A and B are shown apart, each in its own frame.
Chain A
Amino acid sequence: NFMLTQPHSVSESPGKTVTISCTRSSGSIASNYVQWYQQRPGSSPTTVIYEDNQRPSGVPDRFSGSIDSSSNSASLTISGLKTEDEADYYCQSYDSSNWVFGGGTKLTVL
């Protein structure tokens, strides 16, 4: 089994760019797809990135995903930050047939 580690919180100003990391503890980050979910307070999660770098329809291209084998991590980058981007973000991957979630990152846009 492996773990996914995210920073507890990040903050940035409107209009800027922020990157949230998700580091896999063992095994290759490239061996299973990584998804990213956004969860605003009091709401259900929504998918912002799937299969490492794919955006569902309706998700703005300000959101992008990538993986880096050298650091064994995935990243979610949000550019042109808006106040509405303030939320919790979770990365998720697979361990055999089990889902593994990161602990979540609280993004503050101030």
Chain B
Amino acid sequence: EVQLVESGGGLVQPGGSLRLSCAASGFTVSSNYMSWVRQAPGKGLEWVSVIYSGGSTYYADSVKGRFTISRHNSKNTLYLQMNSLRAEDTAVYYCARVYGATDWGQGTLVTVSS
């Protein structure tokens, strides 16, 4: 059974940093196309970043230069390093595995506030 479990969310001050993790089971992260998607409170879905099986990475303009997606193959885990956080980054962050269809995690809440 495929499972995606996000962690690492919490309250952080503007300008601060946070690293989100997504522990995967039932498949190999490094062999799949993995993405981060976020949802601000009461708003729609917004794509954040993707990492392909070959290692190429892409980012939404809103996070480019501040966020970094990566993976740890032996831990079968996806990460999102978030720096220079802003109030508008406040959202639930979901990791997703795309294999044609998309599997989604349960999400982790990031709140950026002083």
| Most chain A CB inside 10 Å of its own CB: which residue of B46, B47, B60 | B47
One digit per residue, 1 when the CB lies within 8 angstroms of any chain B CB and 0 when it does not, for chain A 72-100 equals: 00000000000000001010100011111
Interface residues on chain B, number (Cβ under 8 Å): 19
Q: Is the interface of B mostly helix, strand, loop or mixed?
A: strand
Question: Chain B residues with Cβ under 8 A from A98's Cβ?
Answer: 47, 58, 60
Contacts of B105 in A (CB 8 A): 44
Q: For residue B102, which residue of chain A has the nearest CB? A: A47
| Chain A residues bordering chain B, tally (CB within 8 A) | 23
User: How far apart are B59's CB and chain A's nearest CB, in angstroms?
Assistant: 9
Cα separation A96 to B52 with both chains bound (whole Å):
13
User: Which residues of A approach B to under 8 Å, CB–CB?
Assistant: 35, 37, 39, 44-47, 50-51, 54, 56, 88, 90, 92, 96-104
The chain B residues found within 8 Å of chain A, CB to CB, are: 35, 37, 44-47, 50, 56, 58, 60, 94, 100-107
For this complex, 27 residue pairs linking A to B, each with C-beta atoms less than 8 Å apart, are A35-B101, A35-B102, A37-B45, A39-B45, A44-B104, A44-B106, A44-B107, A45-B37, A45-B102, A45-B104, A46-B104, A47-B101, A47-B103, A50-B101, A54-B101, A56-B101, A88-B44, A90-B44, A92-B45, A92-B47, A97-B56, A99-B35, A99-B37, A101-B44, A102-B44, A104-B44, A104-B45
